[in-house]
A and B are shown apart, each in its own frame.
Chain A
Amino acid sequence: MKGAFLSPAAMRRLAALAVVINGLFPAVWILFTSLKTERELTQTPITWWPHAPTLENFAHAFADQPLALFVFNSVAVALLATGLTLSVATLAAYALARLEISYRNTALSVIVATSTFPLVTLLVPLFETMRAVGLLNSYAALVLPYTVLSLPVCTLVLVSFFESIPADLENAARCDGCTRLGAMWRILLPLATPGMFTAGILTFVNSWDEFLLALSFNSAPGLRTLPVGITLYQGEFTFPWPVISAALVVGIVPVALLIVIFQQRVLSGLTAGGLK
C-alpha cells in the first residue's frame, strides 16, 4: 500500500476529522459568535475564541421573542410533514417499484415535474387555495405544501431503494401466507430502513428550512416557525449577529439531537433486518 507511513485506520480517522471540521465549522463559528459582544465582532483582526464569553445573547434571544415557541412550531410542522410524506411516498413508491403498471414512467415524470416550478411563482395561487379551504394560520397550511415539496424526491428515493431489494424475499413471504401489503410491511420496509430514514430526514430538513410559505401563510404570532421567527430579531437596518447566532444555536440543537437519536435507531434496525 502506498503512503505506508499512515495505517489505514489512521487515514480513516483523518478523513473523518476532515468531514467533521467541514460540516461543523460554520455551526461552531455561530456558537462562538453567540458568546461574543457586538463590539468584539467589529474588531480587526477578527477574534476566533470569544474574549469575554457572555450568555447575554441567549438571554436576549429568549426575552425578545418567543423563541421556544418558534422551535416548537418548526418541530411540529416538520414532524407532521415527515410523517405524512413518508406514508404517502411509501405507498406510491411500492406501486411504482413492484406492480406491473403501464403508465409507470409517465407517473414518475409527473411526480418529478411538480418539483420543477419555482415556489415563488406559485405563492399567490397557493395562498388563494389555502384561503379557499380555510387553512391559513394553521399547521396544515404548511404541512400540506411541505409534503408536496418533498414528495417527489422521497418517492424517487424509495422507488430506487425498493428496486434494489430482490423481490424474491417478498415472494417467499407471500408463499408463507402473507398478503401483498403484509409482505411489504414485514419484509420490504425493514430492509429499506436506510431509504426510509433518508426520505424522512430529507422531508424534515426541507420543511425545517422553508421560509417564504411560512412567512406568507402563517402570519399569526403564535404560529411562526423558526426561520421566520429569527428574522424578527433584525430591524429595518440592524442585524445583530450575536443574538441571531444565539437563536440559530438554539434552533440547531433539536435537529442535532434528532439526528443523533435517529441514526442510532436506524443502525440497530439495520442489523435487526438481517442485512449484512
Chain B
Amino acid sequence: MIRRLGLAALASLVFAQVASAQTNLNVFVSPQQQPQLMRKAFDAYEAAHPGVKITIQSGGTTSELQAAYLNTVMSAKDSNLDIFLLDIVRPAQFAAANWTVPLNDQVGDAAALMKTYLPAYADADQVDGKLVALPAFADAMFLYYRKDLLEKYNVAVPKTWAEAAAAAKKIQEGEHNPDLQGVNFQGAPIEGTVCTFLLPYWSQGKNLVKDGALTWDKPAALKSFAVWKGMVDSGAAPRNSAEIITEQTRKDFQAGKSVFAVLWSYGWAQFQGPDSAVKDKVGVAVLPSVDGGQPVSCIGGWQWGVSAYSTHKKESIDLIRYMSSMDVSRQLAVEGSLMPVFPSLYQDPAVLKATPWFANALPVVTAAKSRPVTARYNEVSDIIRTSTNAVLAGSVGAEEAASQMEARLRRVLR
C-alpha cells in the first residue's frame, strides 16, 4: 500500500517533470525574411516534437538594424533568444564574441555535412575548425542584362569586364540616349561595395584573407580599382557610381535605364513585376571575369546560429539542423523563392517548376565565394567600402587608396 502510494507520488513527480519539460524556443527572424514561411516549417517541427514550442521574435529589418538590435541584447548576455538568423558575414564575429555555441558535437562529421551545401558555406560557417552556424537560404550576385538590347546590337553576353564595357559603349552610342547607363553597380559606402571590390580581385585567383590572416595582393587590388574606375571614367558605368546603393541599381535597371546590372537575386522577381519597364526583356548570367581570370560571384544568404546564453542549447541545435535540411530548403525555394543552399535543389523539379530561372543560377552560386571570414570582418568591410567609394568618387587616387587599405588591413589582421 505504502509502496503503491510511493509509486503514485513518483509517477506524478515524473509526470510533472514531463509537463514542465515543455521547451520554449525563441527564434529571431526578421519580418522581411518571410516569417510566415518559417512559421510553417516551425509548425511542422512542433507537430513532430510535442513538448517543443517555438516563438518568433523580431527586431529590425535590414541586416544593419538587426545587428544593432542583436548586439545590444547579446552584449547584455540576454538569455531570452535561443536561435537567430544571421547575415552570412556575421557568424565569425558572433563566434569570436562567444555568442554562438559550436555545433560540432551534435552534427557528427561537420566536414562531411558542410560538403553537402554550396561550397562557399563551408568557409563562411566554420571558424578555426569549429562549425558555428548552418545555412538557411542562399543569395549571390548576378549579371542582369537587357536581352532585347543585346540582341538588337548583336552583342554576346559578356564574359569579361572589358567585353561588358565595350558592349555598353556600343549600345549607348547606338541608342543615342545620353541617359542610358551601361554597367550599373554599387559604389556607395555600403556593404554591397565590398563585393564590388572583391569581384575583380577574386577573379584574378587571389584571396584577401586566408585562415584569418591577410593575403593582400596589391596589383590585384589596383586591377580591381582599374576595372571599375575605368568604366566610370569612360562612361561605360554611371558617373555617379559612388552614390549608387543596391536599391538604386535595382530601380535604375527596372526603369529601363541600364544595359547591365550587378545585383543580388532579389532583382529577378522585381524585374518581372507589374511595375517593371523591362518585364520579359531581362537575362541573367554569371558575372564577367577580368581578362584571363575565372568567373566568381559574392555569396550572400542567412545562417542559423544558437545563442550561447540559451537555456535549451540541445533542443535549439536540433531545431536548426531541421531548418537547414534539404526538405526545408526545398520548401523555402518553392513557396518563397528563397535560393536553396544545396546544389542538387537547383535541378529539383519542384523548385524549377516554381522558379525556372534557378536553373541558370547553379553555375553562379557554385562559383560564389565568401567574403573574408574573420572575427573583425566589420572593420575589414569598413576599410574596403570607404576606400573603394573614395576611388570611385575620385576623391582619392587608386595608388594612394590601395596603400592606405593595406596599412589599415594590416593593423586589423596583424
Q: Which residues of A contact B (CB under 8 A)?
A: 37-39, 41-44, 123-124, 127-128, 131, 212, 215-216, 219, 221, 231-232, 234-239
29 A-B pairs (CB sep. < 8 Å): A39-B275, A39-B277, A42-B251, A42-B252, A42-B257, A43-B255, A44-B179, A124-B72, A127-B75, A127-B76, A131-B78, A215-B59, A215-B65, A216-B59, A216-B68, A216-B69, A216-B73, A219-B59, A231-B61, A231-B65, A232-B31, A234-B32, A235-B32, A236-B32, A236-B61, A236-B62, A237-B247, A237-B266, A238-B247
The distance in angstroms between the C-alpha atoms of A44 and B30, with both chains bound, is 34
Chain B residues with CB under 8 Å of A131's CB are 76, 78
Kindly state whether residue B57 has any CB partner on chain A within 8 Å. yes
Kindly state whether residue B264 has any CB partner on chain A within 8 Å. yes
Nearest residue (CB) in A for B276 is: A39
Chain A residues with CB under 8 Å of B73's CB are 127, 216
Kindly state whether residue B355 has any CB partner on chain A within 8 Å. no
In the complex, the answer to whether B264 meets A237 with C-beta atoms within 8 Å is: yes
Chain A residues with CB under 8 Å of B31's CB are 232
Chain B residues with CB under 8 Å of A44's CB are 179, 257
Which residues of chain B from 19 to 67 have any CB-CB distance to chain A below 8 Å in the complex?
30-32, 57-63, 65
Q: Which residues of B contact A (CB under 8 A)?
A: 30-32, 57-63, 65, 68-69, 72-73, 75-76, 78, 179, 246-247, 250-252, 254-255, 257, 264, 266, 270, 275, 277
Chain B residues with CB under 8 Å of A123's CB are 72
Q: Chain B's nearest CB lies how many Å from the CB of A209? A: 16
Q: Chain A's nearest CB lies how many Å from the CB of B182? A: 16
In the complex, the answer to whether A234 meets B61 with C-beta atoms within 8 Å is: yes
In the complex, besides A39-B277, A231-B61, A236-B61, 6 extra interface pairs with C-beta distance below 8 angstroms are A43-B255, A44-B179, A215-B69, A219-B57, A232-B31, A234-B61
The distance in angstroms between the C-alpha atoms of A24 and B293, with both chains bound, is 54
Nearest residue (CB) in B for A129 is: B76
In the complex, the answer to whether A219 meets B65 with C-beta atoms within 8 Å is: no
The distance in angstroms between the C-alpha atoms of A37 and B68, with both chains bound, is 32
The distance in angstroms between the C-alpha atoms of A41 and B247, with both chains bound, is 13
Nearest residue (CB) in A for B75 is: A124
Chain A residues with CB under 8 Å of B78's CB are 127, 131
In the complex, the answer to whether A238 meets B250 with C-beta atoms within 8 Å is: yes
Chain B residues with CB under 8 Å of A231's CB are 60-62, 65
Given A237-B247, A238-B247, decide whether A232 and B72 contact each other with a Cβ distance below 8 A.
no
Chain B residues with CB under 8 Å of A127's CB are 72-73, 75-76, 78
Q: Which of B60, B254, B257: most chain A Cβ within 10 A? A: B60
Given A38-B275, A39-B255, decide whether A236 and B68 contact each other with a Cβ distance below 8 A.
no
The distance in angstroms between the C-alpha atoms of A219 and B31, with both chains bound, is 12
Q: Which of B62, B65, B76, B255: most chain A Cβ within 10 A? A: B76
Q: Which of A42, A131, A236: most chain B Cβ within 10 A? A: A236
In the complex, the answer to whether A237 meets B251 with C-beta atoms within 8 Å is: no
Nearest residue (CB) in B for A221 is: B58
Q: Chain A's nearest CB lies how many Å from the CB of B98? A: 16
Chain B residues with CB under 8 Å of A43's CB are 255
Chain B residues with CB under 8 Å of A238's CB are 247, 250, 266, 270
The distance in angstroms between the C-alpha atoms of A238 and B247, with both chains bound, is 6
In the complex, the answer to whether A237 meets B72 with C-beta atoms within 8 Å is: no
Chain A residues with CB under 8 Å of B264's CB are 237
Nearest residue (CB) in B for A237 is: B246
The distance in angstroms between the C-alpha atoms of A123 and B275, with both chains bound, is 41
Q: Chain A's nearest CB lies how many Å from the CB of B359? A: 23
The distance in angstroms between the C-alpha atoms of A232 and B68, with both chains bound, is 15
In the complex, the answer to whether A234 meets B62 with C-beta atoms within 8 Å is: yes
In the complex, the answer to whether A235 meets B69 with C-beta atoms within 8 Å is: no
Chain B residues with CB under 8 Å of A128's CB are 76
- Which one, B57, B63, B72, B255, contacts A216 given CB within 8 A? B72
The distance in angstroms between the C-alpha atoms of A212 and B67, with both chains bound, is 12
Nearest residue (CB) in B for A218 is: B59
Q: Which of A41, A215, A219, A239: most chain B Cβ within 10 A? A: A219
Q: Chain B's nearest CB lies how many Å from the CB of A163? A: 40
Chain A residues with CB under 8 Å of B75's CB are 124, 127
Chain A residues with CB under 8 Å of B69's CB are 215-216, 219
Chain A residues with CB under 8 Å of B57's CB are 219
